[in-house]
Structure 1
Amino acid sequence: MPAYTVREWDKLAYGEGAGQIPDGHAEKLAALAARSAFAGRGGSGVLEHGRHALRARGVVGILAAGDASLEILPKIDVAPGETTDHQNAAIRKRLVHMLAVALDLKIDLGVITDLAWQRETLLEILIRIFCDKLTEALRKGMPRRYITCEDDLPTLRGQLDITRQFTRHAVNPSRLACRFDLLSEDTPLNRIMKAAVQRLARLSRRPANQQRLRELAFVYADITDVPVSALRWDQVVIDRTNRSWQELFAMARLFLQDRYQTTTGGAGQGTAMLFEMNALFEEYVGRLIARALAGTGLTVSLQGGRLFCLSAQDSGRALFQTRPDILIRRGGRVIHVIDTKWKRISARIDDPKQGVSQADVYQMMAYAQLYDAPRLTLLYPHHPGLGGQDTVHGHYAITGHATILETASIDVANSTDMLGRLRRLILSEEPMDLELVG
C-alpha cells in the first residue's frame, strides 16, 4: 500500500513524483477526511482538497482509503539539520509521548528502535505498543468477574427464581429456574479488548502487527462479539483485582472512542484514526502542570470552573457556560487561569499582538471578570522563531482590572526537565512594565 506523510498545515502536491500523491489517491483520502467528525461544515477541517495539493489542518493521525494511506504529523519543530525521515521519527516519538501523558500510560519509547520510528507510521507504532502490552497481560491470565446468570436446570444451583419457576415451569417441575453467579471471562472489559483487536486488525497494514493481532483474536475467540456502539464502557470496573489492565483499557478507549480521535469506516470507504491537537495539547499540558505543582500547596483543575457569562432576566436561566482549560487555586481561591492554544504565535518584534486572536483575548477577559484571578495565561507551543527557550513573552494589564494577561510558550519537542520548566513558568513573578489590553 502506498503510504504518504504530510505535516500539519503543510501541503502534499498532486503528481507521480517523489513527495507527491496521485490524484486518485488524493481524492479518496480527501473524501474519507470529509466524513470525519472533525471535518466541520465545509468538510475541510482535516484536509483541504485544493486544485493543486492536499493541505493538512489542525488534526493529525492516519487515513487509509483504497490502496493508499496518509499520515498527518503535528507541526513540532525538531532538529533542523536532520533528514526528513529522522525528523518525522522524532515527531512520532513526541506525539506518542504526549498521548502517553494525556492518557496516563507508561510507555517505554526506548524499546522501539530508531529505524522503526522512521519506517513505521504513527498508527503502526501505537498498534505495536498495544499488542505488546496486551500479550504481556494475557500471559498472566485473562481477567474474570462474577456475572449473574439465569438458566433452567434439573437441579438447583444458586437461588430459585420463584416468579419464573411458577410461570414458565408450572406444569414441568422437573426443571428449576435458577439464578446464580458464574466466574466468567466474557466480561465488558474483555469485550472491549476484543473489539479493539478487531478494529486494529482492519486498520493495520504491517505484516508483523497483523500476525500479532490474529494471534490475539484467537485468544478472544470465545468472548462475545459486540459492536463498538453497543460496548458497555460504564460496566467496566477497574479495582485491585485487575489494576494492571488500566492502561490497556485507556488504550482501547483511545482506539475506539476517545475524545481526541474519531474512527470512521464503511465497506470500500476506508478507515481513519485522527487526533485533534487542540484537545491533546490541552490535556497533555494540564496533566504535566498538575505533576509540576505537586507539593507546592497549589491545586490544579482541568476543565473546571464552568461559570456562566449571562443569566436571562425573565427566567434566570444561566447562559454561555465557560470552561477554562486549567485553573490553579490556593486555599480554594482561583489565582491563575491558563488556556492552551495549539497555534503559532509570532515574536513581539514582528507583531505587537504576536498573532494572538481577538477572540482569544475576549475569552480571557471574560475569565478575568468571572473568576477574579490575578493572573491569566495564554499558553502556546514554542517554536524557534520565539527564541531559544520557552518562556513568558508578553505581559498585559486588562483595562479596569488588576488582572495580568500574559502570553507564554512551552517547547513540546524538548522533553528535558519538562516539569521543572513548567513549574518555573507558573511560579515566576510578574514584571512591572505592563501594556494595556481592552
Structure 2
Amino acid sequence: MPAYTVREWDKLAYGDGQGQIPVQYADRFAALAACTAFAGRDGSGVLEPGRHALRARGVVGILAAGDASLEILPKIDVAPGETLDYQNAAIRKRLVHMLAVALDLRIDLGAVTDLAWQRETLLEILIRIFCDKLTMALRKGMPRRYVECEEDLPTLRGQFDTTRQFTRLAANPSRLACRFDQLSEDIALNRIMKAAVVHLLRVSRRSSNQQRLRELAFVYADIADVPASVVRWDEVVIDRTNQFWRELFTMVRLFLQGRYQTTTGGAGQGTAMLFEMNALFEEYVGRLIARALAGTRLNVSLQGGRLFCLNEQDSEQGLFQTKPDILIRRDGKIVHVIDTKWKRISSRINDPKQGVSQADVYQMMAYAQLYHAPRLTLLYPHHPSLGPEDLVHARYRITGHDTILETASIDVSNNSNMLMRLRRLLLLEEPDAVDLIE
C-alpha cells in the first residue's frame, strides 16, 4: 500500500520519485479532503492542489483512498540533524501525546517500539493502542447489564403482560406473555465496541493490526451488528461498575464520531481522520494549565466567559459572543485571559510585531474591555528560532487600559517538566506567587 507523508503547510511535489506523489493519488486525496468538514467553501481547507505540488494546510491526520494513504503531520520542530523517518516518528509520538492529554487518555508511548513509530502511520499506531487496551479490558470480562426482555413462554417468568396476552396470544393460551430483566452482554457499549472493530478492520492496512482486529471481532461474534453511522451513543452508561471502559469509549468516539470525519462516497471514496491543530492545541494547553495550577488559589475554566460584544438597544439580545480559550480566576475574579494560537511567531529582532496578526490583537482588546482582566496572553507553539526555551517574549500595554498583553510560547516538542514550565510562565507576574500555593 503506497503511503505518503507531508507536514502541515508543506508541499508534496507531483511525480514518481522519492518524496513525490503520483498525480492520480494526489487527485484522489484532494477529492476526499474536499468532502470533509474542514474543507471550507472552496474545498481546499485540508489540501490545496497546485500546478506542481500538493500543499497541506493547518489540518493534520490521515486520508486513505483506495490502496494509498496520505499522512499529514503537524509542523513540530524535533530532532534536528536526524533522518526524516526519525523526525516523523518523534512528531507522531508528540501528536499522540497531545491527543492523550486532550482526550484524557492514559497511553503508554513506550509500549510502541521506535521502529513502529518510524514505519507506521498515525492511524495504525492508534489502532494498535486501541487493540492493546481492548484486549486487556476483555480479559477482565465483557461488560453486562440487565435489559428488559419480552418473550412468550410456557411458564411464567417475571411479570405477566396482560395486554399482549389477550391480544397477540388470545388464540394460543398455552403460551404466557412474560416481561423480565435478563443479564446480557448485547448492550449498547459492546455494540459500539464491535462497530469500531469492524470499521477499523476495513481501514487498517497493517497485517498485524488486521489479525488482532479479526480476533477481537470473533470475541464479539454474539453481539448484534450495528452500523457505525447509527450507533446509540446516548444509551451507553459509564459508571463505577465499568469505569475501566471509559478510555476505550473515548477512543471509539475518536474513531467513529466527533473529532474527525469519516467520509465515504461512490464505490468507497475513502476514509479521513483529521484534526484541526488550532482546536487540539487549545484543548491540550488548557488541560495542562489546569493540571499545572492544581493546588493553588487559581481556578481554570476552558471556553468560559461567553460574554457578548454587543447588545441590541431594544431587546438587549446579545450579539457576537466571545469564548476565550482559557480563563484564570482568583477568589472568583478573572485575573488572566489566555488565547492559544497554533501559529509560528518570529523573534522581536526579525519583526517588532513578531508576526502577530492584527485580528488577534483586536480579539484580545475585546477581552480586555469585557472581562477586565489585568493580564492577557497570546500563547503560541515554541520553535528554535525563538530561543532555547519557552518564555514570555514581549509585553504591551493596551492603550487606555492598565491591562498588559503579552506574547508567549510553549514548547510542545519537549515534554520534560511541562507542568513546572507552565506554572512558572503563569505565575510570573503574580506579586504573591508563593502565597497562591495552598
TM-score interval, normalised by the smaller of the two chains: over 0.9
Q: Which residue in the other structure is 2:261 paired with?
A: 262
- 1:410-421, aligned counterparts within 5 Å? 410-421=410-421
Partner Cα distance (1:190, 1:253) in 2? 13
Gaps of 5+ in 2: 432-438
Q: Which residue in the other structure is 1:27 paired with?
A: 27
Q: Which residue in the other structure is 1:127 paired with?
A: 127
SS in 1 for 2:379: strand
SS in 2 for 1:263: coil
Q: Which residue in the other structure is 1:68 paired with?
A: 68
- Residue 139 (str. 1) matches residue 139 (str. 2): yes
Q: Which residue in the other structure is 2:319 paired with?
A: 319
The residue identity in structure 2 corresponding to 1:84 is L
The residue identity in structure 2 corresponding to 1:39 is A
State TM-score, norm by structure 2: 0.95
Partner Cα distance (2:354, 2:135) in 1? 49
SS in 1 for 2:262: strand
Partner Cα distance (1:366, 1:178) in 2? 64
Q: Which residue in the other structure is 2:363 paired with?
A: 363
SS in 2 for 1:17: coil
Q: Which residue in the other structure is 1:18 paired with?
A: 18
| CA apart distance, 1:170 | 3.8
- Residue 277 (str. 1) matches residue 277 (str. 2): yes
The residue identity in structure 1 corresponding to 2:106 is K
Q: Which residue in the other structure is 1:219 paired with?
A: 219
Q: Which residue in the other structure is 1:229 paired with?
A: 229
Partner Cα distance (1:166, 1:332) in 2? 64
Deviations 1:386-424 (A, max 9, x none): 111111111111122221111110000001100000000
| CA apart distance, 1:349 | 1.4
The residue identity in structure 1 corresponding to 2:296 is T
Partner Cα distance (2:150, 2:371) in 1? 54
Partner Cα distance (2:185, 2:120) in 1? 34
| CA apart distance, 1:171 | 4.3
Q: Which residue in the other structure is 2:148 paired with?
A: 148
SS in 1 for 2:241: coil
On the 8 A contact 2:282/2:325 being kept in 1, the answer is: yes
Partner Cα distance (2:41, 2:389) in 1? 38
Partner Cα distance (1:181, 1:91) in 2? 50
Q: Which residue in the other structure is 2:58 paired with?
A: 58
Q: Structure 2 vs 1, CA of residues 306 and 166 (structure 1 numbering), >3 Å: closer, same or farther?
A: farther
The residue identity in structure 2 corresponding to 1:55 is R
| CA apart distance, 1:315 | 2.2
Q: Which residue in the other structure is 1:434 paired with?
A: none
Deviations 1:309-337 (A, max 9, x none): 22222322222221111111111111111
| CA apart distance, 1:268 | 3.0
Q: CA RMSD in A?
A: 1.4
Partner Cα distance (2:109, 2:295) in 1? 28
The residue identity in structure 2 corresponding to 1:262 is Q
- 1:297-316, aligned counterparts within 5 Å? 297-316=297-316
On the 8 A contact 2:160/2:176 being kept in 1, the answer is: yes
On the 8 A contact 2:199/2:228 being kept in 1, the answer is: no
Deviations 1:133-155 (A, max 9, x none): 10111111111111112222222
SS in 1 for 2:138: helix
Partner Cα distance (1:214, 1:284) in 2? 33
Partner Cα distance (1:400, 1:164) in 2? 76
| CA apart distance, 1:430 | 7.5
Number of positions where the alignment pairs a residue of Structure 1 with one of Structure 2: 430
Partner Cα distance (2:312, 2:151) in 1? 57
Q: Which moved more, 1:382-391 or 1:154-163?
A: 154-163
Q: Which residue in the other structure is 1:193 paired with?
A: 193
Partner Cα distance (1:347, 1:393) in 2? 8
| CA apart distance, 1:177 | 2.4
Partner Cα distance (2:37, 2:228) in 1? 16
SS in 1 for 2:136: helix
| CA apart distance, 1:222 | 1.6
SS in 2 for 1:234: helix
Q: Structure 2 vs 1, CA of residues 329 and 430 (structure 1 numbering), >3 Å: closer, same or farther?
A: closer
Runs of 4+ in structure 1 over 4 Å off: none
SS in 2 for 1:327: strand
Q: Which residue in the other structure is 1:435 paired with?
A: none
| CA apart distance, 1:160 | 2.0
